[in-house]
C-alpha cells in the first residue's frame, strides 16, 4: 500500500465465477444450486452482491427445451429458410416466439426479430449451444423478470439478480451479454441532474447498469467453460422492485425499426 491511500478508498468491483453447478434439469431450483456451488468453492453470497445467471440454465430449469423433431415448420418458415442452410424447424420456433420481424436476410439465414418479451435480437434468442443433444434447442424464459425474482427469493439474502443472454449488435462485430431479466436492482444508474467532475449538470447520461454488469459477468463466465453464474461484488446500485422492461426502448422513440 502507498502512504497516501488505504484499501478502503480504492473503488473496486470484483466478478467471481461460480463453478461446479451440475447440469440443470427441468424443475431444478437454481437458488439453492447456486448457493451450494458457491459454498463448494469457498464463496459466500453477500448482501449487496449482484448475482448474474445466464439464460441457458434458467431456460433449462424452466423446461424451455424443445426437440426439433416435434416442430412442424409452416410454409412461411420453409420459405424463409430456403435460401440459407437454416433448419426450417428452428425458423418456425423463431417465428412462434416473435412479435414482429425487424430484419431478414434470407441468403445468410439472419432473422432479427422482436420477441414476445420485446427484446430485439437474432433468432428470438433460440440456440442449441450448451444444450444436450443434437436436435434440441433452448427458448428464452417465458418471463425472465419472474425468473430473476424467483432466484432472488431462493437466495434469501438481499442481492440483485440478473438473467443475462448473449446478443449481437448493429454496426459492431461480436456478441456481448445483455440483461433480459432483473430483480432487486434498478437496471439504470441515472446521472441526469447530477454534477460532473467539473460541477456541470449531466443532462443525458443514464447508464444501463444491468447491461454493463451482464457484460462484466460474461468475461468471467466464458462460453465454453461451464460457468453459468457470476457474482458481482462492490457495485453501487439502487434497490428496486421493478424489472427489466425499462431497458426496452419504446418503438415510438426508436429510429432503427
Site for a second copy in 142-201 (CB under 8 A): 166, 169-178, 187-189, 191, 194-198, 200
* DSSP H or E run through 101: strand 98-105
Residue 95 CB, shortest distance to a second copy, in Å, is 18
Residue with cell 424464459: 141
Q: How far is the CB of 79 from a second copy (least distance, A)?
A: 19
**Helices (DSSP H) in 70-156: which residue ranges?**
75-81, 88-96, 144-155
CB nearer a second copy, residue 11 or residue 27: 11
Shortest distance, position 92 Cβ to a second copy, whole Å: 19
| CA-to-CA dists, residue 134 to 68, 116, 129, 200, angstroms | 9, 26, 9, 56
Minimum CB–partner distance for residue 100 and a second copy (Å): 12
∠ CA(244), CA(159), CA(239), 5° rounding? 55
Parallel, antiparallel or unpaired: strands 65-67 and 136-138: antiparallel
Residue span 215-234 as binding mask against a second copy, x where in contact by CB under 8 A, dash where not: xx-xxxxxxxxxx--x----
Min dist. Cβ of residue 117 to a second copy (A): 12
Closer Cβ to a second copy, 121 or 183, answer by number: 121
- Segment 24 to 53, residues that bind a second copy, using CB under 8 A: 39-43
Whose Cβ is closer to a second copy: residue 74's or residue 226's? 226
Give how far the C-alpha of residue 213 lies from the chain's centroid of Cα atoms, to the nearest Å.
10
The residue (of 98 and 150) whose beta carbon lies closer to a second copy is 98
Q: Which positions from 116 through 145 interact with a second copy, judged by CB under 8 A? A: 120, 127-132, 134
C-alpha Rg value of the chain to the nearest Å: 20
Choice between 138 and 150, CB closer to a second copy: 138
Distance CA 41, CA 178 (A): 26
Residue 209 as a binder of a second copy (CB under 8 A): the answer is yes
34 vs 235 by CB, closer to a second copy: 235
Query: CA-to-CA distance for 249 and 251, rounded, in angstroms?
Result: 6
Q: Write the CA distances from 140 to 13, 102, 110, 121, 128, integer angstroms.
A: 29, 18, 18, 11, 12
Residue 72 as a binder of a second copy (CB under 8 A): the answer is no
Amino acid at each position: 500500500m502507498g502512504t497516501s491511500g488505504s484499501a478502503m478508498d480504492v473503488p473496486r468491483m470484483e466478478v467471481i465465477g461460480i463453478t461446479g453447478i451440475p447440469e440443470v434439469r427441468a424443475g431444478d431450483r437454481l437458488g439453492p444450486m447456486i448457493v451450494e456451488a458457491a459454498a463448494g468453492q469457498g464463496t459466500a453470497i453477500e448482501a449487496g452482491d449482484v448475482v448474474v445467471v445466464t439464460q441457458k440454465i434458467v431456460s433449462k430449469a424452466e423446461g424451455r427445451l424443445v426437440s426439433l423433431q416435434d416442430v412442424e415448420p409452416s410454409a412461411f418458415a420453409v420459405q424463409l429458410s430456403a435460401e440459407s442452410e437454416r433448419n426450417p424447424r428452428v425458423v418456425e420456433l423463431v417465428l412462434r416466439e416473435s412479435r414482429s420481424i425487424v430484419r431478414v436476410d434470407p441468403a445468410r439465414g439472419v432473422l432479427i426479430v422482436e420477441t414476445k418479451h420485446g427484446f430485439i435480437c437474432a433468432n428470438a434468442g433460440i440456440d442449441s449451444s450448451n444444450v444436450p443433444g443434437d436436435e434440441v434447442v433452448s427458448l428464452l424464459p417465458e418471463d425472465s423478470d419472474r425468473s430473476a425474482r424467483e432466484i432472488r427469493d431462493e437466495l434469501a439474502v438481499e442481492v440483485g439478480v440478473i438473467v443475462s443472454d448473449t446478443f449481437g449488435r448493429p454496426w459492431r462485430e461480436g456478441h456481448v451479454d445483455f440483461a433480459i431479466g432483473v430483480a432487486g436492482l434498478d437496471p439504470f444508474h441515472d446521472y441526469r441532474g447530477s454534477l460532473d467532475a467539473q460541477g456541470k449538470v449531466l443532462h443525458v447520461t443514464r447508464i444501463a447498469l444491468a447491461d454493463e454488469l451482464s457484460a462484466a459477468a460474461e468475461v468471467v463466465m466464458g462460453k465454453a467453460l461451464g460457468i453459468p453464474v457470476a457474482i458481482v461484488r462492490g457495485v453501487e446500485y439502487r434497490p428496486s422492485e421493478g424489472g427489466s422492461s425499462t431497458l426496452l426502448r419504446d418503438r415510438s422513440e426508436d429510429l432503427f425499426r
